[in-house]
C-alpha cells in the first residue's frame, strides 16, 4: 500500500495488491481497483479477476465491463447478464460459448435462461392401439408407479466409487450432450446393477435419474405380465415408446431376471417371446433409444440371459457391494436423522460392529431400536429417546443377510468367470478376506 501511494500509476503493482487483498479484504481490494479503467492494458486473467471481484460484491455493471474475451469471461458475462435481467443477451452469449466449447455446457444455467440443451433428436412416438384389443393406449401404461420425490446422490449413503462410475458413464452424457454428440457418443444405453439384496440398487437408480434431471419410470413385473397371449409384449413395447416420447428418461426394471432370465431354463414359449421383445426394444433396427437410459437391478446376475449382456444392451455391469464402515456410519446417520435420539448414541461403534450388513439390515436395526423405545415410552408413561442400549439390543436381534449371497457369488466368481464379469466381486471378497 505504501509503494502504491508513491507510485499510483503503477498498474502491475495495483493488480498485485488486488490479488493479495481480494480473498481476505474484498472491500479494500474494491477500493484499490476503483481507479482502474476497463480499457487499461490488462491480461485476460487480470480482467477475469476484476470481473469476479465486482460480481461477488454485487457491482454487476462494473463486473460486465471487465469480463475477459476468453471462455471463462464469456460464461461469467452470461451469468452477469442473467443476474441483471437480460436473459436474451445471456442466452446469446451462452449458446455461442457452448457451440465453441461444448465441455462448458451447464444444464442448470441453460434451463435458468431458457436455452434448451441439445438433447439427441428423439421423435415423439404415439402409442399404437391393436385393433383386436379393447385396451386403449392409456390403459397399457396406467400401472406405472406414480412419480416419487426426486432424490440425488446426497440421499444415498456411501457407494462413493459406484457414484463416480455412474457420474462418468451415465450422468455426464446427459449433462453435456453437445460434447458427447461431437464424439458421436449418445446418451442412454443399458446399465445392469447387481449385488446382495438391500444394498441400495433401487435407491441408486432413482438418484441417478435425479442427477440426470430425467423422467424416472419404475417398472415392476406386474406392469408387464399379462394372462393373454401377446399382451405382455405389447405392454413392454408401449412402455419403451412412452420413455422415448418423454426423453430424457430412465426406465428402471427391478428384479430384471423375472423378465430376462435364461431362456433354456423355461419351457414356456411366452417367456421366450417376451425376452425376444425386450431385446428388440433395447437395440432393435427400428428403435431410437437416444436419451433413454435403461437401468436394471438383479440379485442373481448369473440367471440373466447372456443375450442381454452383449455390447449395446446391458453392456455395463456395476457391482453394488455391502457398504463399508464409512458408508455404514453415513447410512446410520441418515436413518437416525429427525428421530428423537439420546446424547449417548455412538454411530461409529455401531458401524464397526456391523461389517457385511446391507443398508436394509441397518434400517432393520434402527427400526427395531425405535420399536423398543416406543414400547418403553408406553410402559413408563414418559417419552423415551432412542438410546445406545436400544441399538445394542437391536443389534443382537438383527442378522446380516448378505452372507448367503456372497457365498453363492464367490462360487460363480471362482468357477464361472471366463469373461471377467465378476472380477469386481472377486476384488471385494479378497479385500475382506472372504475369497
SS (H, E, C) the chain: CHHHHHCCCCHHHHHHHHHHHCCCCHHHHHHHHCCCCCCCCCCHHHHHHHHHHHHHCCCHHHHHHHCCCCHHHHHHHHHHHHHCCCHHHHHHHHHHHHHHCHHHCCHHHHHHCCCCCCCCCCCCCCCCCCCCCCCCHHHHCCCCCCCCCCCCHHHCCCCHHHHHHHHHHHHHHHHCHHHHHHCCCCCCEEEEEECCCCCCHHHHHHHHHHHHCCEEEEECHHHHCCCCCCHHHHHHHHHHHHHHHCCCEEEEECCCHHHHECHHHCCCHHHHHHHHHHHHHHHCCCCCCCCEEEEEEECCHHHECHHHHCCCCCCEEEECCCCCHHHHHHHHHHHHCCCCECCCCCHHHHHHCCCCCCHHHHHHHHHHHHHHHHHHHHHHCCCCCECHHHHHHHHHHCCCCCHHHHHHHHHHHHHCCCCCCCHHHHHHHHHCCCC
The reported pLDDT for the residue numbered 123 is 43
| pTM, rounded to two decimals | 0.66
Structure confidence by residue, pLDDT tens digits, 48-66: 888 888 888 888 888 889 8
Residue segments in the chain with a per-residue pLDDT below the cut of 70: 116-149, 186-188, 260-271, 284-287, 433-435
Domain 325-397 class, CATH top level:
mainly alpha
What are the extents of the domains in the chain? 2-112, 137-315, 325-397
Residue environment code for 208-231, b if the CB has 16+ CB neighbours within 10 A, otherwise e: bbbbbbbbbbbbeeebbbbeeeeb
Q: Which residues contact 101 (CB under 8 A, 6 or more apart)?
A: 71
CATH (one of 1.25.40.10, 1.10.3720.10, 3.20.20.105, 2.30.30.140) for 2-112: 1.25.40.10
The closest alpha carbon to 15, from 38, 39, 37, 42, belongs to: 42
CA gap 398, 332 in Å, rounded: 15
CB atoms within 10 A of CB 203: 17
Residue 307, C-alpha cell as written in the block: 443375450
Going by their DSSP bridges, the two strands 249-253 and 189-194 should be labelled as unpaired
CA gap 272, 276 in Å, rounded: 6
Structure confidence by residue, pLDDT tens digits, 3-16: 988 888 888 998 89
CATH classification of 137-315 is 3.40.1160.10, yes or no? no
Q: For 133, how many CA atoms within 13 A lie in the half-sphere containing its CB?
A: 16
The reported pLDDT for the residue numbered 187 is 67
The reported pLDDT for the residue numbered 280 is 84
CA gap 423, 94 in Å, rounded: 44
Note whether 238 and 218 are within 8 A (CB).
Answer: no
Phi, psi of 418, rounded to the nearest 5 degrees: -60, -35
Amino acid at each position: 500500500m505504501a509503494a502504491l501511494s508513491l507510485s499510483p500509476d503503477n498498474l502491475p503493482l495495483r493488480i498485485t495488491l488486488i490479488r493479495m487483498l481480494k480473498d481476505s479484504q474484498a472491500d479494500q481490494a474494491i477500493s484499490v481497483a476503483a481507479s482502474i479503467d476497463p480499457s487499461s492494458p490488462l491480461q485476460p486473467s487480470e480482467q477475469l479477476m476484476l470481473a469476479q471481484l465486482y460480481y461477488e460484491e454485487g457491482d454487476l455493471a462494473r463486473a460486465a465491463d471487465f469480463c475477459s474475451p476468453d471462455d471463462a469471461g464469456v460464461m461469467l458475462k452470461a451469468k452477469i447478464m442473467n443476474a441483471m435481467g437480460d436473459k436474451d443477451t445471456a442466452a446469446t452469449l451462452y449458446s455461442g460459448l457452448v457451440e465453441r466449447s461444448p465441455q462448458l455446457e451447464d444444464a442448470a444455467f441453460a434451463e435458468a435462461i431458457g436455452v434448451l440443451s441439445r438433447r439427441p433428436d428423439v421423435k415423439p412416438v404415439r402409442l399404437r392401439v391393436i385393433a383386436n384389443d379393447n385396451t386403449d393406449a392409456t390403459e397399457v401404461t396406467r400401472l406405472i408407479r406414480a412419480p416419487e420425490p426426486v432424490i440425488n446422490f446426497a440421499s444415498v449413503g456411501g457407494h462413493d466409487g459406484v457414484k463416480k462410475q455412474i457420474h462418468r458413464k451415465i450422468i455426464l452424457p446427459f449433462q453435456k450432450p453437445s460434447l458427447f454428440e461431437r464424439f458421436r457418443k449418445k446418451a442412454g444405453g443399458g446399465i445392469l446393477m447387481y449385488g446382495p439384496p438391500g444394498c441400495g440398487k433401487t435407491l441408486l437408480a432413482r438418484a441417478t435419474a435425479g442427477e440426470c434431471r430425467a423422467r424416472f419410470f419404475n417398472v415392476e413385473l406386474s406392469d408387464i405380465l399379462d394372462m393373454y397371449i401377446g399382451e405382455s409384449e405389447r405392454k413392454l413395447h408401449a412402455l419403451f415408446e412412452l420413455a422415448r416420447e418423454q426423453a430424457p428418461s430412465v426406465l428402471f426394471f427391478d428384479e430384471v431376471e423375472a423378465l430376462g432370465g435364461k431362456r433354456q431354463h423355461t419351457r414356456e414359449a411366452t417367456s421366450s417371446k417376451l425376452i425376444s421383445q425386450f431385446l428388440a426394444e433395447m437395440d432393435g433396427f427400428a428403435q431410437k433409444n437416444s436419451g433413454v437410459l435403461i437401468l436394471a437391478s438383479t440379485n442373481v446376475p448369473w440367471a440373466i440371459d447372456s443375450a442381454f449382456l452383449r455390447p449395446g444392451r446391458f453392456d455395463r455391469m456395476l457391482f453394488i457391494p455391502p457398504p463399508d464402515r464409512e458408508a455404514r456410519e453415513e447410512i446410520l446417520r441418515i436413518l437416525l436423522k429427525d428421530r428423537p435420539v439420546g446424547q449417548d448414541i455412538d454411530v461409529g461403534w455401531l458401524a464397526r460392529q456391523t461389517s457385511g450388513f446391507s443398508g436394509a439390515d441397518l434400517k432393520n436395526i434402527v427400526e427395531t431400536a425405535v420399536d423398543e423405545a416406543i414400547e418403553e415410552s408406553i410402559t413408563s408413561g414418559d417419552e423415551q429417546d432412542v438410546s445406545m442400549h436400544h441399538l445394542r439390543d437391536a443389534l443382537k436381534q438383527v442378522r446380516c443377510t448378505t452372507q448367503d449371497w456372497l457365498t453363492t457369488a464367490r462360487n460363480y466368481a471362482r468357477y464361472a468367470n471366463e469373461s471377467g464379469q465378476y472380477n469386481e466381486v472377486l476384488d471385494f471378497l479378497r479385500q475382506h478376506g472372504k475369497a
